[in-house]
A and B are shown apart, each in its own frame.
Chain A
Amino acid sequence: MLVLPGLAAGAVAVLPLWYLLREALAEGWESLWAEVWSGSTAALLGRSLALVASVTAACAVLGVGAAVLVVRSDLPFRRVLSVVLAMPLAVPSFVAAFAWISWRPSLAGFWGAMLVLTTVSYPFVFLPVAASLRRLDPAQEEVARSLGRSPGRVLLSVTLPQIRTPATAGALLVALYVLSDFGAVGTMRYEAFTWVIYGAFRAGFDPSRAAVLACILVLVALALVAGETFARGRGEQNRVGAGVARAQQQLALGRWKWPALGSVALLVGAGLAFPVVSVLVWFTRGVSAGIAWDEFGSALGSTVAVAVLGAVVTMALAVPLGILSARHRGAAVTALERSVYVAHGLPGIVVALSLVFVGVTVLRPLYQSTPMLTLAYAVLFLPLAVGSVRSSVLQSPVQLEEVGHSLGKGRWGVLFHVTLPLAAPGIGAGTALVMLAIVKELPATLLLHPTGMETLAMNLWSETTVGRYAAAAPAALALMLLSSVPTWILTRTTGGYR
């Protein structure tokens, strides 16, 4: 029942491969191998992986640390902070990068790229870990305490191991994001894979070389996905006891209260306040200030429209595959689920040009129309949606579905009355996550948008490429404000305070 729609989602996700393999092989296997095994490609891979590893590690530490403080300690203002800490997700990486480099040009290079990518993507870890911490049954911790462990050691030896799954899942999102990001590495002039792929397209008109490099990125992304499966382990943390879990005990910070608050404030300041203030400064800084309201209004409207449409369509494609992969094990299903990650580690320009090829080759009537753009968003962001659906289905006991069957409901009846309602928070969160990604997306939007339509991201790009920062400020602010809506939904759907 779910196999056909699942296959459809997989087919959509691997569309870019058609073009990439065709281009990569355009000059024959020999030149392909020569490119793959050249020393410069290895060096490039090393630089990209160094960035991926360090940003992911930093995000894991910061994300988990912030989540523990906000959920499990008596940190002041923790309710507000639990929302504000997620908000850097709304800041586009190139806006943050530009803010930092304007302030301290010497940041350019590895450390600058790491700083920017860490401060805008740690919420990928923070959100799921915080949600998971709130849900944990304190019983195990209480046992450990009653056996004489100190609160700190309980945290390390009992609590943290239980959040391994959400932490590694979030870390994977961070890793893939870093791999595909161009905004931060471009602005910070760190010569990672994406920078060079852009160069091959931009100045070299060398699509073949770009395609070879992109294929390597696909392999790296798939390796990361496989690595995550390995790292999160097999344990399950579903609570099966009868009745309601007891209230969790808060860790008393004591004299560490204010230093802890300071660190969290620093994180929020770097990820959110600094970029926002920088954009406000642009606003006051040049003569190109001023807003063309009608243009601005229609850009806002178009952004919202494509984000909602794209998120709904992506989610519709993702639901069957998400349920399938949660409820059925086996090599075929795993392969199908992994296939959606093919495009996720690729820079947007590669996916965009692949879809230009698909558009003019087989979907000519749809080329540069809203449906085609929506398809591009689905290709880019299916993993965000599939992951959310899958994990929320996994959390609801399969026994409930069996009960449904035994009470005489058919397959569809169980799907609509049991499985989907139970997965609702995941579906909501996934939709919000995809909307957030679409609002910030640029390269695919630039190449595939319907003629005459302009989004906020396009407007921002157009103004900043000619240095009209003051004119770019309203679009930048609107973009962040708009992105904060799905981010806020995300903090709610991932389990706010009860």
Chain B
Amino acid sequence: MISDGFANGPHSRQGVRHLALGLLAAVALLAAACSSADSSADSGGEEADSAAGAAPITLYTGRNTNLVGPLIDQFTEETGIDVEIREGGSAELAAQILIEGDASPADVFLSQDAGALGAVSKAGLFEVLPDEILDRVPEAYRAADGTWVGTSGRARVLIINPELVDDPPGSIDDLLDPEYEGKIGFAPSNASFQAFVTGLRVLRGEDGAREWLEAFANQNPEAYENNTAVRDAVDRGEIAVGLVNHYYLYELIAELGEEAVTAENVYLDGGDPGGLVNVAGAGVLVGAPNQEGALEFVEYLVGPAGQEFFAEETFEYPLALGVDAAAGLPQLDTLEPPEVDLSDLDSLEQTQELLAETGLLTQ
């Protein structure tokens, strides 16, 4: 009934001709598809040959393969273990793993943020990692129960447009100044922003957090879909300041070149809740068909090769001891993030409720 009229052709012979036309096009397309499917099968075969027998692992990655792809290739080259990649949003993949349960075909889950890792860990779907992997990374940046390990750090910063801000704020409390009314951008449904709010609750207590959020809401901040959109809005001068992670700026610089970028990062004063350092990390699934390969992969991520890669290519903070951050970034140990146990950042529901009650997140 729906597309009455999508069917309204002139009838009979003419109609058959049109159908034939459509089918002809379909067959031509199918033929094109088959030929390219053949060629991709060929290249797949070559890869399998080079893997020389080691069983492949399946990786669910919430991290973009444009960023981590080269590192994964490097891993395959060095270990002979092929990595079958399934890419998606971290939270979507976590939701998928939660539904799949221990029947999940995934060996490793590499996530953009600790929250998605925590959700999988809480469902009991992560294996406890061995000490030689966990000990590579300071305690602050891994799960308290050893079910996942941080692979790179991301500092919360303010991104500002220097043309619109004279005196950069040093604390999230400075954002409550009337000067910033209607000029702040944030991404309320973004996991990093919610982790910051959870940290705020841990640091200042429920009442303190509510007080700040209410005052923040009174500033009429602009809500964006994600950090990239916040960053772009700041860079265009649509808003003066945004709450984002530190590396978004460097991605933009890498894309457009330094001269074309107006925005700047501002690291907050020592201990300020707005300067939380969160992690991207990985865990091995309990039902992993290839446990051994999975562990080898996670070990590689926190090893020297992986850590240097994150520092130089994604502009994140390497977490393993003895690896430096990219030039131009303040080193991780010079930052003074607030003292928050990342494992305490799992109370997302309460955070969301609080955000909804203060009118910042629509429920």
Contacts and interface: CB of A to CB of B under 8 A. Distances in A.
B177 interface: no
Contact of B6 (A40, A430, A462): A430
Interface residues of B, number: 87
A424 B15 contact: yes
Contact of B228 (A195, A427, A465): A465
B362 A44 contact: yes
Interface string B213-230: 000000000111110100
A449 B352 CA distance: 31
Contacts of B84: 451-452
B228 A467 contact: yes
Contacts of B26: 308, 311-312, 431, 435
Given A202-B189, A360-B100, A387-B2, A135 B7 contact: no
Interface string A396-426: 1000000000000000000000000111111
Contact of A287 (B2, B14, B225, B254): B254
Interface stretch (B34-42, B143-151, B157-165, B200-208): B34-42
Contacts of A431: 22, 26
Contact of A395 (B8, B30, B87, B222): B8
Contacts, number: 300
Contacts of B236: 105
B88 A446 contact: yes
A478 interface: no
Contacts of A428: 9, 15, 18-19, 21-23
A305 B224 CA distance: 36
Interface stretch (B59-67, B127-135, B166-174, B337-345): B59-67
Interface stretch (A6-14, A149-157, A168-176): A168-176
Contacts of B25: 485, 489
Contacts of B66: 462-463, 466, 468, 471
Interface in A357-415: 357, 360, 364, 367-368, 383-384, 386-392, 394-396
Nearest to B100: A360
Nearest to A35: B363
Q: Is the interface of A mostly helix, strand, loop or mixed?
A: helix
B168 to A, nearest CB: 23
A288 B304 CA distance: 27
Nearest to A387: B2
B322 interface: no
A491 to B, nearest CB: 11
Interface residues of A, number: 114
B7 A391 contact: yes
Contacts of A33: none
B307 interface: no
B22 A203 contact: no
Given A452-B44, A495-B10, A202 B191 contact: yes
B12 to A, nearest CB: 7
A44, A102, A430 pick with most chain B CB within 10 angstroms: A430
Interface in B51-87: 58, 64-67, 84-87
B225 A388 contact: no
B64 A169 contact: no
Contacts of A286: 255-256
Given A201-B92, A451-B58, A490-B6, 19 more contacts: A128-B5, A131-B5, A131-B9, A169-B1, A195-B189, A203-B194, A205-B94, A207-B95, A228-B2, A285-B256, A301-B33, A308-B30, A388-B3, A390-B1, A427-B19, A428-B18, A492-B22, A495-B8, A495-B10
14 contacts: A173-B2, A189-B224, A191-B362, A195-B189, A196-B363, A202-B91, A203-B194, A294-B39, A304-B32, A356-B96, A425-B11, A433-B6, A451-B84, A492-B22
Interface of B: 1-12, 14-16, 18-19, 21-23, 25-26, 29-30, 32-37, 39-40, 43-44, 58, 64-67, 84-89, 91-92, 94-96, 98-101, 103-105, 115-116, 119, 189-191, 194, 222-226, 228, 232-233, 236, 238, 251-252, 254-257, 348-349, 352, 356, 361-363
Interface of A: 40, 44, 102, 105-106, 108, 127-129, 131-132, 135, 165-166, 169-170, 172-173, 186-187, 189, 191, 195-196, 198-199, 201-207, 225, 228-229, 232, 285-288, 294, 297-298, 300-302, 304-305, 307-308, 311-312, 325, 337, 341, 349, 353, 356-357, 360, 364, 367-368, 383-384, 386-392, 394-396, 421-433, 435, 443, 446-447, 449, 451-452, 458, 462-463, 465-471, 485, 489-490, 492-495, 498
